[in-house]
Amino acid sequence: MTGGGDCPGLNAAIRAIARRAAADSVAVLGIRNGWLGLVENDCFELTRSAVVGILPRGGTILGTSRFNPLKDEQSIVRLKENWAMHQLSGLAVVGGIPKTIDNDICGTDFTFGFDTAVSIVTDAVDRLHSTAESHHRVMVVEVMGRHTGWIAAYGGIAGGADVILVPEHPFRISRVCDLLNTRREDGRAFSIVVVAEDAHPHGDEAFLTEAQSNAIYQHGHLGGIGEALAAEIEKCTGIQTRVTKLGYVQRGGSPTPFDRILATRFGIKAYEMIREGRWGHMAALRGTKIVMVPLDDAVCDLKRLDEEIYRVAEMFSA
């Protein structure tokens, strides 16, 4: 099953599990819409032919949901009945396999989906340079990443952004404006600012109203810091400033080769862990190797942006 937000590479993981199991003549059921499918007995056999052609496709052929069966006793009862009826011997939860564009899961160096999101951000920043340069504007690009700045930092560095703002380091608006003014004085009247959706202004220079703050940082649904930041930049620099919020575009489309390969390797590892009865573990990338880590290590806390990467992003500011 695939649960939680979708991301590029889910189908590659599904395909890998189905293909690997088929090689052992083990039957696999695909459960639709995360845990909900197991409660509602909404599933189908994931034969080899059911996964033909899905490798390059975004999203998930199984569908997904954020349904949590633990919230209601009746759901658990039905889930167990369906489990027994199908005589399931194990469950691969892609979710339990680290997938997210945010790359914020502990225990793994990278999640799949992240590399695709970074290439989408990079491409967008490349494209935005044209209008920024032609119109002498500041372009603010708001990217996803939930509470971490992985996408902003990687996408910003790869796209050559002039300012990169991440949740791990609250930003001072005066410093952002100084950087943009310095660029203008040096003859570079255009700039690209990449801001992560959960980046916060530093408490010393808070410029958001309480209402703005509540709207932007709503739990579970972030978004809007780009607009507020752009207004502030325009006010303090006088440079015409525009905003692009990349939103769900970052989660869509065909996975990059890196994500296809990572998802495939995770899928195979998940199958092998099930076959060996290694329950409660997650397939993870450590260096170049796929390893298994206890789920507890994976859900401990957020994997925040690496400081070394942040310093690289800082070095190229303005």
Answer yes or no: are the C-beta atoms of 104 and 145 closer than 8 Å: yes
Amino acid at 196: A
Phi, psi of 253 (to 5 degrees): 80, -175
* CA gap 93, 90 in Å, rounded: 10
Q: How far is the CB of 113 from ligand F6P (least distance, A)?
A: 8
User: Of 153, 154, 157, 161, nearest to 129 (Cα)?
Assistant: 161
Pick one of 15, 20, 32, 146: the residue that binds ligand F6P (CB under 6 A). Answer: 146
Site for ligand F6P in 242-261 (CB under 6 A): 251
* CA gap 174, 76 in Å, rounded: 53
Is 102 catalytic? The answer is yes
- Return the number of the residue (37 or 149) whose C-beta is nearest ligand F6P: 149
Amino acid at 89: S
Pick one of 97, 222, 233, 263: the residue that binds ligand F6P (CB under 6 A). Answer: 222
5 is an interface residue for ligand F6P by CB under 6 A = yes
Residue 154: exposure state from Cβ atoms within 10 A (0-12, 13-18, ≥19): buried
313 is an interface residue for ligand F6P by CB under 6 A = no
Given the rule CB under 6 A, which of 12-20, 38-46, 100-108, 256-264 is the region that contacts ligand F6P?
Answer: 100-108
Given the rule CB under 6 A, which of 39-47, 83-91, 144-152, 269-277 is the region that contacts ligand F6P?
Answer: 144-152
Distance of CA 24 to the CA centre of its chain: 33
Q: Cβ–Cβ contacts within 10 Å for residue 257, how many?
A: 10
Pick one of 18, 46, 61, 101: the residue that binds ligand F6P (CB under 6 A). Answer: 101
Pick one of 2, 11, 100, 116: the residue that binds ligand F6P (CB under 6 A). Answer: 100
Q: Which of 24, 42, 72, 102 is catalytic?
A: 102
Using DSSP, state whether 64 is helix, strand or coil: coil
- Return the number of the residue (222 or 270) whose C-beta is nearest ligand F6P: 222
Write out the residues near ligand F6P by the rule CB under 6 A.
Answer: 5, 100-102, 144-146, 197, 221-222, 251
